[in-house]
Amino acid sequence: MPMTTPSLLILPGDGIGPEVMAEVRRVIDWFGANRGLTFEVSEDLVGGAAYDAHGTPLTDATMAKAQSADAVLLGAVGGPKYDVLDFSVKPERGLLRLRKEMDLFANLRPAQCFDALADFSSLKKDVVSGLDIMIVRELTSGIYFGEPRGIFTEGNERVGVNTQRYTESEIARVARAAFELARKRSNKVCSMEKANVMESGVLWREVVSEIGAAEYPDVALSHMYADAGAMQLCRWPKQFDVIVTDNLFGDLLSDAAAMLTGSLGMLPSASLGAPMENGRPKALYEPVHGSAPDIAGQGKANPIACVLSFAMALRYSFDAGDEADRLEAAVGRVLADGVRTADLILPNDGGAPVSTGEMGDAILGALDSSL
């Protein structure tokens, strides 16, 4: 039986999303033309763009496309023009719906410092040079989804309520994802929570420990309170390899780790779920950065995080690890050559930044050189 062409749904979203995604489309075309790696690509709306067109941040039809696609690649959502909207239809609700209904429970956020950018980090070069860690964040439960939630009136004042809630099975599956990933890296996992003050943290530590001892005795497991983990990320991040943590702490820790590398414009992410019938995990890939409305439409955005998100898709959804390595190496080569968008130029550098499209040109040129 002939193999079907894998499907890829592209959701550019808002702000700089369409600009950085345009460069990814060029990279996708390059792999089709030069490596015989083709995809059935479709495109749709999400976030504010979907609200403007349909009155909702994600239509049921787009949700159905995402459920059936082999992978979803998203740009960014949100912007100040949507701040006045009701919470239920804010652009971010479209992204949360994708994560929830696709059951994308494991969010992989790498923090890798390219050698050419080691001086760009706010930390000393020897602290970040060679940094390569992976934060595995639980994505579909915890305080962002727990009930009850809302703003209520008690007596003569308002009270805001959010509930941190985890089941044993929710913790176990993200722990397994982290342990499996560690086996492909350095066989080391650090689990972070707040077991000293939160019952959900006590359960988290117990379940992760049980899974590690019973199923992954070959993987070294350590535990750390999340606030101490944040401090250690700033002190000596290279002590970590794979970090597994809950939804809230993962959100905070991964953004802190992102800045160790110098720029949010450099960092991709993958959100993975259970395997589909074809064996591929349900998956959504997106840059860690936001929609950056202040520079949208100006050609200033750095497309590297979105390009590297596609590299993660090649690795985790399409079994094309060698081609992912090729793309990541091309990005490294471009940076080593001194090509910089505005976010990668220090105040005293004096260099002229390249545009979004020019960075895309440079990456394609490096890919050509890899043949």
pLDDT in tens, the chain (371 residues): 346 899 999 999 999 999 999 999 999 999 999 999 999 999 999 999 999 999 999 999 999 999 999 999 999 999 999 999 999 999 999 998 999 899 999 999 998 888 888 877 778 888 888 889 999 999 989 999 899 999 999 999 999 999 999 999 999 999 999 999 999 899 999 999 999 999 999 999 999 999 999 999 999 999 999 999 999 999 999 999 999 999 999 999 988 887 787 666 788 999 999 887 777 889 999 998 899 999 999 999 999 999 999 999 999 999 999 999 999 999 999 999 999 999 888 766 667 899 999 999 999 999 999 99
Q: What is the pLDDT of residue 198?
A: 97
Helices (H), the chain: 17-35, 48-54, 60-68, 91-101, 125-128, 168-183, 199-215, 226-235, 247-260, 304-316, 321-336, 356-370
What type of residue is 151?
A: I
| Cβ contact 185:134 at 8 Å | yes
Q: What is the pLDDT of residue 159?
A: 97
What CA–CA distance (Å, rounded) separates 74 from 309?
9
One DSSP character per residue, 200-236 reads HHHHHHHHHHHHHHHH-TTSEEEEEEHHHHHHHHHH-
Identify the DSSP state of 121. S
Q: Which of 251, 285, 300, 343 is catalytic?
A: 251
Q: Which of 227, 241, 325, 361 is catalytic?
A: 227
Q: What is the pLDDT of residue 276?
A: 79
Identify the DSSP state of 56. S
Chain centre distance of CA 123: 22
Handedness of CA 352, 358, 360, 365 (dihedral sign): negative
Mark whether 227 is an active-site residue. yes
Q: Give the chain's domains with CATH numbers.
A: 1-108+268-371 (3.40.718.10), 132-260 (3.40.718.10)
Q: What is the pLDDT of residue 3?
A: 62
Q: Which of 52, 132, 241, 255 is catalytic?
A: 255
Chain centre distance of CA 236: 22
Q: Which of 14, 166, 194, 282 is catalytic?
A: 194
Q: What is the pLDDT of residue 2?
A: 44
Q: Which of 144, 166, 285, 316 is catalytic?
A: 144
Residues 6+ apart with CB under 8 A from 67: 101, 102, 282
Mark whether 144 is an active-site residue. yes
Mark whether 194 is an active-site residue. yes
